[in-house]
A = this chain, B = another copy of it.
Amino acid sequence: MSASEVNDGWGQVGELMHDWCRSLFPITRSITGEGVRTTLEFISRKIGGDFILNEVPTGTEVFDWVVPYEWNIRDAWVENEQGERIIDFQSNNLHLMGYSEPVDQWLDLEELQQHLYSLPEQPEAIPYVTSYYKRRWGFCLSEQHRQSLEPGRYRAVVDADFKPGVLNYGELVIPGESSQEVFLSTYVCHPSMANNELSGPVVTTAIARWLQSLPDRRYTYRIVFIPETIGSLTYLSRNLDHLKTHVIAGFNVSCIGDDRCYSYLPSRAGNTLADRAARHALHHIDSNYLRYTWLDRGSDERQYCAPGIDLPVASIMRSKHGKYPEYHTSLDDLSLVTPSGLEGGYNALKSAIEAIEINCRPMATCLGEPKMSKRGLRPTLSRVDSIEEDNILIMHLLTYSDGERDLIEIADLINIPIKQLGEMVRLLADQSLIRI
């Protein structure tokens, strides 16, 4: 599948990403283990040879944290006295609490209840529950399911390995003309859920393919596929100096696949290049996009924008984590995330990246307005309304080309997509009317 397929119109990239979601959905991902590696290998096949799989051993200190034991799960269930599996990890990997410790034990229903998790207010949903840093075991099930359990004896089995291993993450660097970098981060640690979080990895994979397909890029792109929190902390702890000196803008890619709305969450600083590009892009896609504040953060931006880290990382989302009813339940599935939802998210992120690529700080070379008519950029005949919209836009661009404003600011002043201005910048630069 060639990279150009990614770019061919609406249906195709959306369907393609949705296909990837369907392939990845059943895998049992967690912050470590086989599921992460299988997922990264899938992505590697889509992206190609530059994709590097890194591993960091259990016990490695990362800032205030330590890389935990690797967790691998083979099977897990609860069976009744008749030997019937009444809660079965094989049917939905959300049934098992993430990082459950191994167990094989008979219990009364009452004892079992201590290990069960359900959502009384969403009786049909299996909740997503984890206990990464404290050893326990548990099963998750719908409230309806739970209510149907009858008194009796139950056998709970978690057939898992808990031992020193590695934390895995994938990393891709796509070089550009400049060593300055645009940074993208997404996660690969969620089991069978779709918006949070297969949408992030698949949109990021598609963006990576689009970037690879470009004949040239102004900036270098650094793209990481990591487990949330411990992964971003691990990545930061190994690369902080490089990131702080190279990254001019970044995006945390998460919750970017449903059809409901577009959302923006700022960096902590609030007005970085990433923020400005994100707002510019979203404004021209749907000016009613939701603007969250830093108080609403909840994903890896928490690490990337932490005090002392201070990377310029903003978030472009569809329905934001924690703000849609299916969040962190079995209802966050492949009917919620759609081809068009993914495609919209992909296009929004792509527009923001394009804004960064196109952005420059043009400086007019002429004193006064240039004589545009001799360049065919203005009619020679002057009458009311004889000037075309494009001629007006080019004069707006010229008048704001003062070497202080950048193109995003100019586009925002004129209220047009920066892409339109980008073409005019090239035209004016070709005619030596601006320096960039």
Contact = CB atoms under 8 A, between A and B. Distances in A.
Interface in A378-402: 380-384, 395-396, 398-402
A240 B322 CA distance: 55
What band does the interface of chain A fall in when counting residues whose beta carbon is under 8 Å from B? 35 or more
B414 A368 contact: no
Contacts of A381: 129-131, 134, 136
A367 B129 contact: no
Interface stretch (A38-46, A342-350, A369-377): A369-377
Contacts of A62: 368
B133 A328 contact: no
Given A64-B370, A384-B328, A364 B306 contact: yes
A132 interface: yes
Interface string A407-418: 000000110000
A383 B129 CA distance: 5
Given A64-B366, A367-B236, A368-B63, A307 B399 contact: yes
A309 interface: yes
Interface string A305-322: 111111000000000001
Contacts of A303: 368-369
Nearest to A404: B307
Nearest to A66: B371
A127 interface: yes
A310 B401 CA distance: 12
Interface string A209-245: 0000000000000000000010011001100100000
B307 A382 contact: no
B399 A268 contact: yes
Contact of A369 (B302, B364, B396): B302
Interface in A35-57: none
A65 B403 contact: no
B329 A367 contact: no
Contacts of A322: 384
Contacts of A307: 363-364, 398-403
Contact of A233 (B129, B134, B295, B368): B368
A119 B399 contact: no
A412 to B, nearest CB: 12
10 contacts: A131-B380, A131-B382, A133-B373, A134-B373, A136-B381, A295-B414, A302-B369, A307-B400, A308-B366, A327-B384
Return the 6 tightest CB-CB contacts between A and B, nearest first: A134-B380, A307-B402, A129-B383, A64-B370, A307-B364, A63-B368
